[in-house]
A and B are shown apart, each in its own frame.
Chain A
Amino acid sequence: DVKVTQSSRYLVKRTGEKVFLECVQDMDHENMFWYRQDPGLGLRLIYFSYDVKMKEKGDIPEGYSVSREKKERFSLILESASTNQTSMYLCASSPLTSGANVLTFGAGSRLTVL
């Protein structure tokens, strides 16, 4: 069964801490994405990547950075966590070809920043 795995389901961090959210996919997909999900706002794209060492900003990149050193792994980094970054973070992947627009999602990482 193919999957997108997010290593941390629940995290509690303090304001100012550096936070790493890890995502691994086993489908050999080229595209990987980080979304945040908030009630009443739906999913908003933070960053995405089409290839190793490649990244592009989504709609809400401020306060975040990403790293893609290997094809299967896409990390989201909060350099200095703030309370307004308390949210559910969803990683997704898709192939580069005709199925590119069909995303496979991970289970999500619920981050609470105190």
Chain B
Amino acid sequence: AQSVSQHNHHVILSEAASLELGCNYSYGGTVNLFWYVQYPGQHLQLLLKYFSGDPLVKGIKGFEAEFIKSKFSFNLRKPSVQWSDTAEYFCAVNGGSSNTGKLIFGQGTTLQVKP
């Protein structure tokens, strides 16, 4: 069965610090990978996605993620965080060639950015 593991449950950073949130998945075949974000009081929304091609994907608000197939990882990065990045971040995977929309989510990482 597919699973997703996010290593950091709660991260606290100061503004301008660099961010890296870890995400590992277990599935041996073709995968679609996602990062979703939930800002306080708002809907869960897509931050970025990887389907194929360039393993370094860029998303909204300066976020990027790198797919490393050999490590089964899809870590999220941002060079310099802002207070407005305070949110909960979820990594998700859809394994296989199916286009079902059925995603497996990680446990989530709460990011708190101090001004």
Contact = CB atoms under 8 A, between A and B. Distances in A.
The answer to whether A binds B is yes
Name the residue in B94, B100, B104, B107 with the highest tally of chain A Cβ atoms < 10 Å from its Cβ: B100
A74 interface: no
B101 A48 contact: yes
Contacts of B71: none
B7 interface: no
A97 B108 contact: no
Nearest to A4: B43
B12 interface: no
B106 A94 contact: no
A31 B101 contact: yes
Given A42-B108, A43-B90, A101 B103 contact: yes
B105 interface: yes
Nearest to B94: A101
Given A43-B90, A102-B49, A105-B45, A33 B106 contact: no
Interface string B1-15: 000101001000000
Given A101-B34, A107-B43, A45 B106 contact: no
Contacts of A106: 43
Most buried by B among A42, A96, A97: A42
Contacts of A4: 43
B45 A101 contact: no
B101 A42 contact: no
B32 interface: yes
Contacts of B103: 43, 45, 101, 103
Interface of B: 4, 6, 9, 32, 34, 36, 42-46, 49, 51, 90, 92, 94, 99-108
Q: What are the 4 closest A-B residue pairs judged by CB atoms, nearest first?
A: A94-B101, A43-B105, A105-B44, A100-B99
